[in-house]
Structure 1
């Protein structure tokens, strides 16, 4: 029935500006472009991020968010801070090291590392 995650979709207030932000700040590539949305490829992952023109702040409770994996999480954390990306504190639990980042529409994204 369900075979895989196809994409993760986030609503953004300005698809052009957000596409540029994801490309410049996070290194994503625009894989497909159409009216009102963009599909962005993420490194070697087969799961893209789709950003769609809309109203992202209609409900902040129980909003889905993508979690990205980074082998060198400390380097990634520092590089994102240097690029002016808003990041949370680096956190560790029993299994994961992770931090949250926020795009221009205040969508929460997370970066993690685990062994």
Structure 2
């Protein structure tokens, strides 16, 4: 078999209130709402299809590593440190819960942010070279 997985098509995020969460993602992150009912919302942003799925309380994408540290499941990319700093500042102005910009010992810098249900996400200042090439993004 020579077939391989080509891309991630959809990401599912647990939320307790589809209406409030979809509004938050649209207003705070600039997502485009393409469908919504009482159990789910379909959003498009960051070149991805995201489903917000109504879940039970205390569900999230987060997990704990072997050291007991809460970890995120998704990292978003921006094009450079200036873009990271601008987005961080914008998130603070929009009253999104964010962490500090960090140097984690690898190329670029990162910060984390949280949605209304406590789903933890990461943002990295290094845009994938393949993505840059495909979409003709220059520095």
Partner of 1:10, secondary structure, is strand
- Tell me the CA shift for residue 32 of structure 1: 2.4
State the match for 2:73 in structure 1.
65
1:79 and 1:64 map into 2 onto residues whose CA distance is 21
Match for residue 105 of structure 1 among 92, 117, 134: 117
| Structure 2 equivalent of residue 86 of structure 1 | 97
Deviation at 1:48, TM superposition (A): 1.7
CA displacement 1:25-65 (0-9 Å, x = unmatched): 1111112224411111114x1x2221100025247535762
- TM-score, reference length from structure 1: 0.86
Q: Greater shift after overlay, 61-70 or 20-29?
A: 61-70
Segments of 5+ residues of structure 1 without an aligned counterpart are none
The CA RMSD over aligned residues, in Å, is 2.0
List gaps (5 residues or longer) in structure 2.
Answer: 65-70, 128-139
Q: Higher RCO, 1 or 2 (CA under 8 Å, sep at least 6)?
A: 1
Displacement after TM superposition at 1:97 (Å): 1.1
The 3 A distance-change label for structure 1 pair 56 and 90 is farther
- Equivalenced residue count is 113
Counterparts of 1:1-115 in structure 2, within 5 Å, are 1-43=4-46, 45=47, 47-55=48-56, 57-58=58-59, 60-62=62-64, 65-71=73-79, 72-92=83-103, 93-114=105-126
Answer 1 or 2: which has greater strand percent: 1
- C-alpha distance in structure 2 between counterparts of 1:77 and 1:64, whole Å: 17
Bigger Rg over Cα: 2
